[in-house]
Homo-oligomer: A and B are copies of this chain.
Amino acid sequence: MLELRTSKRTEIIDITDKVQEEVRKTGVRDGLAIIYTRHTTTAITINEGERGLMEDIEDVMCRLVPRGAGYKHDIMDDNADSHIRAILLGNSVVVPVSNGRLDLGTWQRVLFIELDGPRSNRRIVVKVIAT
């Protein structure tokens, strides 16, 4: 289990190195890893970790699912946009493991996306299944 602290309402954090360390600790050489967030207003994705691109992703999600656009859920809790963005982005990724490491392409990084921060204790499950 990884634990993260976030510092803004919306924020993308590259967790690749932490996930690789969790995979290494399992001792599994060949199989699959799942990286899974246990929250409904965060997401996990795989893409390039370039700073400008990460800001572009945030901007596009704000445009596609704007905050406070008359959502019914906002009467309960003012974060319907965060939930809906999380659904579109996905709450887990599954990655092949080879030679004891995530078998990522050259530009691929595992990205955690905070959509309703800041929060002090976001929890991400990393689980590895051997072939």
Contacts and interface: CB of A to CB of B under 8 A. Distances in A.
Interface of A: 31-32, 34, 36-40, 45-48, 50-53, 55-57, 59-60, 64-65, 71-73, 75-76, 80, 83-84, 86-96, 103-108, 123, 125, 127-131
A38 B103 CA distance: 8
B84 A57 contact: yes
A50 B80 CA distance: 11
Contacts of A72: 51-53, 55-56
A100 to B, nearest CB: 15
Given A36-B96, A130-B131, 18 more contacts: A32-B32, A34-B96, A37-B105, A40-B46, A40-B105, A46-B91, A52-B72, A53-B71, A53-B73, A56-B71, A56-B80, A59-B71, A87-B89, A88-B88, A94-B94, A105-B123, A127-B131, A129-B131
Contacts of A92: 93-95
User: What are the nearest 8 A-B pairs in CB distance?
Assistant: A38-B105, A52-B72, A53-B73, A52-B73, A56-B71, A40-B48, A40-B107, A96-B127
Given A56-B73, A57-B84, A73-B52, A127 B47 contact: no
A34 B94 contact: yes
Contacts of A90: 90
